[in-house]
Chains A and B, each alone.
Chain A
């Protein structure tokens, strides 16, 4: 087994076991930590897929920012919070059935799938731009400008929304004069 394959196996096993551990652990803080492990494993997979910038973004944003946010809220919530709805008798088994069924369907689809193979080692866009970060930057500000601007708007709306929803309630007094 070559080095690349070993690397892949280790990461795949790590990602999958940490995902399962996250689902089944009863403690929310452990779940968040398992997720962080999962995200780091996936980031390393991106490295193997020759996408170093994305690996860095994955660690910074996903493992770094989003999971820290989760951790904060988990800590603020205290011990097991009240469930959202009444106990549906077969919820877990049904979910399991659905998820496993979907997995089977996807696995079959992937096995039978025919994907146009890649010719060459690195796409020409990267080659002409002289490196991946440079190519990404060029695309971000040129071809993908609209999505880029829209992501900044979506983050703004996220901030406004989070403030509107989570702010401590003010005293109910009329407008100050």
Chain B
């Protein structure tokens, strides 16, 4: 049995989650925001595995959940980055000041 209390892992995960959230909310470039999101998903995985190790009595739900999250993150990243390419390609010919298509 590990000597490290569960809370330590949870705090680290919470820290990483909030750092990722800050990264996602404070940036204006799509890739920066995406990296923040990946950090957040990663932090949740730490939560899941830590909970599995310390709380789950029988079964592997925590690890399964973590594997699923990694897969979803991969698919999401692929679609997101493809969208980034499409977005910046269609903007290549237009300057930034003219990009105001979607207003309030």
Contact = CB atoms under 8 A, between A and B. Distances in A.
A165 B83 contact: yes
B32 A139 contact: no
A22 B12 contact: no
Main secondary structure of the interface of B (DSSP, over half): helix
B22 A96 contact: yes
Q: Interface extent on B, as a size class?
A: 35 or more
A177 interface: no
Contacts of A95: 21-22, 25-26
Contacts of A81: 29-31, 88
A40 B21 CA distance: 20
Most chain A beta-carbon neighbours within 10 Å: one of B7, B14, B60: B60
A162 B78 contact: yes
A51 B79 contact: no
A45 B46 contact: yes
Q: Interface extent on A, as a size class?
A: 35 or more
A51 B36 contact: no
A81 to B, nearest CB: 6
A99 B56 CA distance: 29
Contacts of B60: 123, 125-126, 135-136, 139
Given A65-B74, A162-B81, 12 more contacts: A42-B42, A51-B49, A62-B70, A73-B84, A95-B21, A95-B26, A110-B11, A139-B60, A151-B71, A157-B75, A162-B82, A166-B81
7 contacts: A42-B46, A45-B46, A81-B29, A83-B96, A99-B21, A110-B10, A113-B10
Interface of A: 2, 4-5, 8, 12, 15-16, 19-20, 22-23, 28, 31-32, 35, 38-39, 42, 45-46, 48-51, 53-54, 57-58, 61-62, 65-66, 69-70, 73-74, 76-77, 80-87, 91-92, 94-96, 98-100, 102-103, 106-107, 110-111, 113, 115-121, 123-126, 135-136, 139-140, 144, 147, 151, 154-155, 157-159, 161-163, 165-166
